[in-house]
Chains A and B, each alone.
Chain A
Amino acid sequence: MQTEGSTALKKALGKILGFFLILGIILTQLNRIFSFKYEDGIRQMEQFYRQEKGTVDVLVLGSSHAFVDIDPAVLYERQGIAAYDLCASMQSTWHTYYDLKEALKYQKPKLVVMDVFRIVENFNYSKESKLIKSVYGMRPSRDKLEAIRAGLSEEEQASAYLYFLEFPSYHSRYTDLTEEDFTDHPSKLAGYKGYYPATEVTELKRPRVEDISERYPIEEKTKEYFIRILKLAKENNIPVLLINAPYRMSEDDKRVYNSLEDLLEELSAEYPTVYVDFNRMYDELGLDFEVDFADEDHLNRTGVQKLDSYLADYLAAHYELPDRREDARFASYLCNQF
């Protein structure tokens, strides 16, 4: 009797296991098809995990100002610098902090370059699309859940698990599916380094904000996470270079940057940080507002070439970054894809 019972139990367990195995395979494939494939946030993190250990010397953080304006291929070709743009559209500082935290689990960069544009953030939570783009590329972990919580308002905290599971956000994409959703596979992008090119040419007026000396305060939460980024980098002995990539800076933004400069001075003893504002160096960079911008916020390919050539030389001159051009492990930088 007992043998019969245990055989039946074994049979039942076998069936259950088989069923969930098949279901798991199908659901994994469905998840792959339905998942968001945005290239302004999610893909940056997904591909970061695919970088061979020890192949990222410079970690570039920030919003689109960083991943559109900093092309690791230019840095590599000019000075042999191995950089990766780990950024997301309109990324708030709290998500930049979690990006850095996540990145340090997999790579040991020698320098962090952070664009400070989102210091002007005036909300203390993220819009849903921004939250998703900043977080969905991350592998499941406690940090990921914390990052989600950090981006949600008080009222939205209860739905954090829905964002953690991800599928509830994109299951209804069946009306938007395209061929790319079925064929797209991360392995196709081995040489991807987080860069996204802007190719349009927009004629802009050069901003005149240098005389503005007023100050608008930095939002408390933004400031808190900005300091946490500096602290985390310091704990890991990684110098931080803050940059402000060229764009049509508004007067209000300038007022917040003035406060940032005050803050950096205040923190200088504890966190000595270099801040290079490229918006004060248009002539030095040779930027032409008639041809070098794709839109009000981003440089196009010619603008990127000018900025990144300068940046590459600057990094080589001021930081001890190895020239990786002869190293076979860094060959993927030669086939930098976007």
Chain B
Amino acid sequence: MVFNSFSFLLFFPIVVWIYFIIPKKIRYIWLLIASYYFYMSWNARYALLIAASTLITYVSGLLLERADAVSEQEKQASLKKWIVAGSFVTNLGILFFFKYFDFALSVLNRLLGGLGIGIVEKPFDVLLPVGISFYTFQALSYTMDVYRGQLKAEKNLLRYALFVSFFPQLVAGPIERSTSLLGQLGRVHEIKLWNYDRITSGLSMMLWGYFMKMVIADRLAIYVDNVFDNYTQYGATVLILGAVFFAFQIYCDFGSYSLIAIGSAKVMGFTLMENFDTPYFSRSIKEFWRRWHISLSTWFRDYLYIPLGGSRKGKIRTYVNLMITFLASGLWHGASFSFVVWGGLHGLYQIIGSVLKPCKRKLTDALRVKTDCYSYELLQCIITFVLVDFAWIFFRANSLSAAAAYLGRIVRHADPWALFDGSVFAAGLSMPEFLVAVCGLLILLAVDRIRCRKGMQLDAYLNTQSLWYRWGVYIFLICSILIFGIYGTAYDATEFIYFQF
């Protein structure tokens, strides 16, 4: 059940309505039932995996707390490490098996092939369970937080199961921290449900999320899919446009999911962490990672980069830690070398940025470049976007070689006239559709600009405006989604134009 499905439009109001009317004490049980139903609507068997992950981390939490009773410090520390290792190995083992088994096998075969040894046959097909990377990381954060003493182990298994499976953020984040969400779930009976401002605020976040997804992301996807799948047919102009559109497609797609998740949780009285904070207004790659998929990048920072030593052990070690973190982040996004290269590029950008920082400073001083002005900020944003978008090509291309060929065509097939001869409208979106996409992007940039400038989300900004303006925006968004959203039956207009009797 995805958020932009008719099923969810029925599911969500029903869940919220029942949640509002049932006794306070069983609210979390109802949400657990709803969450498992939500997850099982993809495949009922997946529930076993999430239940297994829940049980392992739940028990590890209890064991970690019990280990505190061991009086001998050394023994206690060693025991706790073993428990954490057990939880990580089993959870990451499940994740590895379902997500990376095929990839690992193909790598193994490539290595064996290079050595002239026979190919290992694939013994079975592995289907990737929806959201496994998200909930596994969320569950592991709990183990770590209990280990670090930041949180007491949760005794109530059902409440803990809800923490792992909470339906708004279950399949695509934000990856919540146990210190935040588990606490809120523990106080669910205290939530004052009827709060007009909170509910309308949550709904308007959802509405903006649906606009980003259905009007912008899904429309750009038509162009992007066509361009990336048939890149050999296009020149540089369309290919660059395809890459730029992909940057916004993935932002709107991913960002919208987070917004709908945060909004729907807000309607029910929960606060989820922010996941995307106007990432394309970043002025450096480092800043980009503070604004892009925040819940994942902070997860990697807290549970991988810092335990590796972070930036505390010298420059070289810092760079190595950065590369490890970003390569792991790349691999987390998908089981292929394209994602590893994408992650590696971001690691490399940051290392080069750090190495060149003194040179950059000297250069700007020598050339007396004015740095405290809008034009300089804009230039930084554009350069950052270009670097990010360059890496996105590897993320989106069907393979590493396809990404290289895509970039090769951009270099070798310059065709600026494509902007004027209508070629850009012949790559998946007709002119009116293209214009809708561009208008959607302008609206997105305007909303992000407001957010960047005023530091508030659309819902908070609207609350500062008068009623007619608020309602105007809501009605505009609803009508835009209904008219310009990509949904419904893909009817073939030509079939209708022909007046067939």
B 440-483 contacts with A by CB, 8 A: 471, 474-475, 478-479, 482-483
Which listed segment binds A: B153-161, B316-324, B403-411, B493-501? B493-501
Q: By the criterion CB–CB under 8 Å, are B501 and A64 in contact?
A: yes
Which listed segment binds A: B34-42, B56-64, B119-127, B484-492? B484-492
Q: Which residues of B contact A161 (CB under 8 A)?
A: 6
Q: By the criterion CB–CB under 8 Å, are A171 and B483 in contact?
A: yes
Q: By the criterion CB–CB under 8 Å, are A162 and B489 in contact?
A: yes
- A117's closest neighbor in chain B, by CB? B501
A 14-43 contacts with B by CB, 8 A: 15, 19, 22-23, 26-27, 30, 34, 36, 38, 40
Q: By the criterion CB–CB under 8 Å, are B6 and A127 in contact?
A: no
User: Contacts A34-B483, A65-B501, A174-B484; is A163 near B489 (CB within 8 Å)?
Assistant: yes
A167 to B474 CA separation, bound complex (whole angstroms): 19
Chain A CB within 8 A of B253 CB: no
Q: By the criterion CB–CB under 8 Å, are A27 and B488 in contact?
A: no
Q: Which residues of B contact A162 (CB under 8 A)?
A: 6, 488-489
Q: By the criterion CB–CB under 8 Å, are B501 and A68 in contact?
A: yes
- A173's closest neighbor in chain B, by CB? B493
A176 to B433 CA separation, bound complex (whole angstroms): 12
0/1 per residue, B215-248, Cβ < 8 Å to A? 0000000000000000000000000000000000
0/1 per residue, A290-323, Cβ < 8 Å to B? 0000000110000000000000000000000000
Contact of A27 among B430, B482, B489, B500 (CB under 8 A): B482
Q: By the criterion CB–CB under 8 Å, are B500 and A128 in contact?
A: no
Chain A CB within 8 A of B194 CB: yes
Q: Which residues of A contact B485 (CB under 8 A)?
A: 171
A36 to B493 CA separation, bound complex (whole angstroms): 11
0/1 per residue, A170-190, Cβ < 8 Å to B? 111111100000000000000
A229 to B51 CA separation, bound complex (whole angstroms): 54
A162 to B483 CA separation, bound complex (whole angstroms): 14
Q: By the criterion CB–CB under 8 Å, are B196 and A8 in contact?
A: yes
Q: By the criterion CB–CB under 8 Å, are B489 and A168 in contact?
A: yes
Q: Which residues of A contact B307 (CB under 8 A)?
A: none
- B484's closest neighbor in chain A, by CB? A174
Closest CB in chain B relative to A7 CB, distance in Å: 12
Chain B CB within 8 A of A202 CB: no
Contact of A23 among B6, B478, B483, B489 (CB under 8 A): B478
Q: By the criterion CB–CB under 8 Å, are B432 and A40 in contact?
A: no
Chain B CB within 8 A of A212 CB: no
Closest CB in chain A relative to B93 CB, distance in Å: 36
Contact of B479 among A15, A27, A40 (CB under 8 A): A27
Q: By the criterion CB–CB under 8 Å, are B482 and A176 in contact?
A: no
Best-surrounded residue of A9, A26, A171 (most CB of chain B within 10 A): A171
- B488's closest neighbor in chain A, by CB? A168
| Count, chain A residues at interface, CB 8 A | 40
Q: By the criterion CB–CB under 8 Å, are B501 and A38 in contact?
A: no
Q: By the criterion CB–CB under 8 Å, are A129 and B432 in contact?
A: no
Q: By the criterion CB–CB under 8 Å, are B194 and A9 in contact?
A: yes
Closest CB in chain B relative to A271 CB, distance in Å: 28
Contact of B500 among A12, A36, A89 (CB under 8 A): A89
Closest CB in chain A relative to B20 CB, distance in Å: 13
Contact of A40 among B471, B482, B501 (CB under 8 A): B501
Q: By the criterion CB–CB under 8 Å, are B492 and A168 in contact?
A: no
User: Contacts A12-B196, A128-B492, A169-B491; is A175 near B501 (CB within 8 Å)?
Assistant: no
Q: Which residues of A contact B482 (CB under 8 A)?
A: 27, 30, 167, 171
User: Contacts A129-B496, A174-B483; is A90 near B478 (CB within 8 Å)?
Assistant: no
Contact of A30 among B471, B474, B483 (CB under 8 A): B483
Contact of A22 among B471, B483, B488, B501 (CB under 8 A): B471
Q: Which residues of A contact B501 (CB under 8 A)?
A: 40, 63-65, 68, 89-90, 297-298
A 167-221 contacts with B by CB, 8 A: 167-176
- A159's closest neighbor in chain B, by CB? B489
User: Contacts A161-B6, A175-B430, A298-B501; is A127 near B495 (CB within 8 Å)?
Assistant: yes
A320 to B248 CA separation, bound complex (whole angstroms): 70
Q: Which residues of B contact A176 (CB under 8 A)?
A: 493
- B478's closest neighbor in chain A, by CB? A23
Main secondary structure of the interface of A (DSSP, over half): helix
Best-surrounded residue of A26, A36, A38, A172 (most CB of chain B within 10 A): A172
B 164-221 contacts with A by CB, 8 A: 194, 196
- B196's closest neighbor in chain A, by CB? A12
Q: By the criterion CB–CB under 8 Å, are B495 and A128 in contact?
A: yes
- A297's closest neighbor in chain B, by CB? B501
Q: By the criterion CB–CB under 8 Å, are B475 and A22 in contact?
A: yes
- B499's closest neighbor in chain A, by CB? A40
A249 to B154 CA separation, bound complex (whole angstroms): 78
Q: Which residues of B contact A36 (CB under 8 A)?
A: 496
Q: Which residues of A contact B433 (CB under 8 A)?
A: 175
- B491's closest neighbor in chain A, by CB? A169
A298 to B432 CA separation, bound complex (whole angstroms): 37
Chain B CB within 8 A of A59 CB: no
Chain B CB within 8 A of A132 CB: yes
Closest CB in chain B relative to A16 CB, distance in Å: 9
Q: Which residues of A contact B475 (CB under 8 A)?
A: 22-23, 26
Q: Which residues of B contact A34 (CB under 8 A)?
A: 483
User: Contacts A26-B479, A168-B489, A174-B432; is A90 near B500 (CB within 8 Å)?
Assistant: yes
A30 to B475 CA separation, bound complex (whole angstroms): 12
Q: By the criterion CB–CB under 8 Å, are B491 and A132 in contact?
A: yes
User: Contacts A26-B479, A161-B6, A167-B482; is A129 near B500 (CB within 8 Å)?
Assistant: yes
Closest CB in chain A relative to B352 CB, distance in Å: 45
Best-surrounded residue of B478, B487, B488 (most CB of chain A within 10 A): B488
0/1 per residue, A119-152, Cβ < 8 Å to B? 0000000011100100000000000000000000
A12 to B199 CA separation, bound complex (whole angstroms): 11
User: Contacts A68-B501, A128-B495; is A171 near B471 (CB within 8 Å)?
Assistant: no
Q: Which residues of B contact A173 (CB under 8 A)?
A: 493
Q: By the criterion CB–CB under 8 Å, are B432 and A19 in contact?
A: no
Q: Which residues of B contact A19 (CB under 8 A)?
A: 471, 474
Closest CB in chain B relative to A92 CB, distance in Å: 13
Q: By the criterion CB–CB under 8 Å, are A169 and B488 in contact?
A: yes
A161 to B7 CA separation, bound complex (whole angstroms): 11
Q: Which residues of A contact B432 (CB under 8 A)?
A: 174-175
A175 to B479 CA separation, bound complex (whole angstroms): 16
Q: By the criterion CB–CB under 8 Å, are A169 and B489 in contact?
A: yes
User: Contacts A27-B479, A65-B501, A68-B501; is A38 near B496 (CB within 8 Å)?
Assistant: yes
- B199's closest neighbor in chain A, by CB? A12
Closest CB in chain A relative to B437 CB, distance in Å: 13
A90 to B499 CA separation, bound complex (whole angstroms): 11
Q: Which residues of A contact B491 (CB under 8 A)?
A: 128-129, 132, 169-170, 172
Closest CB in chain A relative to B497 CB, distance in Å: 9
A125 to B304 CA separation, bound complex (whole angstroms): 57
List 5 other contacts, CB 8 Å, given A171-B485, A172-B488, A173-B493: A15-B196, A65-B501, A89-B500, A162-B489, A172-B484
> Which residues of A come within 8 Å of B, CB atoms?
8-9, 12, 15, 19, 22-23, 26-27, 30, 34, 36, 38, 40, 63-65, 68, 89-90, 127-129, 132, 159, 161-163, 167-176, 297-298
Between A and B, 6 residue pairs with Cβ closer than 8 Å are A22-B471, A23-B475, A27-B482, A168-B487, A173-B493, A174-B484
Query: 4 closest pairs, A vs B, by CB?
Result: A168-B488, A64-B501, A12-B196, A129-B495
